[in-house]
Amino acid sequence: MRAALPGRSAMTWQFDWAFPTVKQRFVNDREFVWNRGKGLGGSSGNNYYMWSKPAAGDINAIAGSSLLSVSLQPEAGKTYCTLMAVLCRPFSRGTVHATSSDAWAYPTIDPHLLENDFDVELLVQGFKYIRSFAQTEPFQSGVVREMDPGVRVSDDDQQIRDYIKNTLMNMAHAVGSCSMLPRENQGVVDPELKVYGTTNVRVVDLSILPLHTGAHPQATVYMIAEKATDIIRASRE
């Protein structure tokens, strides 16, 4: 069985909620799409694997046939490769708030992207590493030239910062809206996954993590669910 599931390339189509964020003042007042798939499998492209059995044993390497570029128009007959730096553990902290008692009303989402200067500096170093990687053999022998940003952006830190703020993309693996922390530290759930102030309401998803993992979080969610099963079963014995 094969099914079309919302992913990164379909953030604004009919099967995705495509929540808009508020303007991000540290990213040149740009608005972002906070994708959340409506169907089984959600908005994670990794969930496609529930419908498909890959021939290869290793499916951790992430690659795609699409070209990710803000300004580059590819020429026919030529081959391109996109290298990206991804900040897995941002220090900026955002907010999500309900705007209405209407369950269908969009929430106010403010991820506060790049609000923490350390996030920007990490991405600057990531940019420099990617550029140096492309200039190192054996990879370099397969590169004709850097297309985007190319000569428009030198190795000057400020130029790189400006480029990042103009081209930043949000990967939308958000965590922490129902953090497992002490209540006095703005926690929402206790170690038994129960929401503070309730007797039988638990949260079992990625929102309980106060800090992000250093990789795609799919396996982490599965383990949270397994642990929740043990906790709930034990509470009923």
As a whole number of Å, the end-to-end CA separation of the chain is 38
112 as an active site residue: the answer is: no
Catalytic residue among 97, 112, 212, 216: 216
Q: Is residue 173 among the annotated active site residues?
A: yes
Whether the bond between 149 and the residue before it is cis, its omega within 30 degrees of 0, is yes
- b vs e for 81-120, b when ≥16 Cβ sit within 10 Å of the residue's Cβ? eeeeeebeebebebebeeeeeeeeeeeebbbbbbbeeebb
Report yes or no: 18 and 11 within 8 Å, Cβ to Cβ.
yes
- The string of DSSP codes covering 5-37 is ---GGGTTSTTB--EEBPPBGGGTTB--EE--B
Residues recognised as catalytic:
173, 216
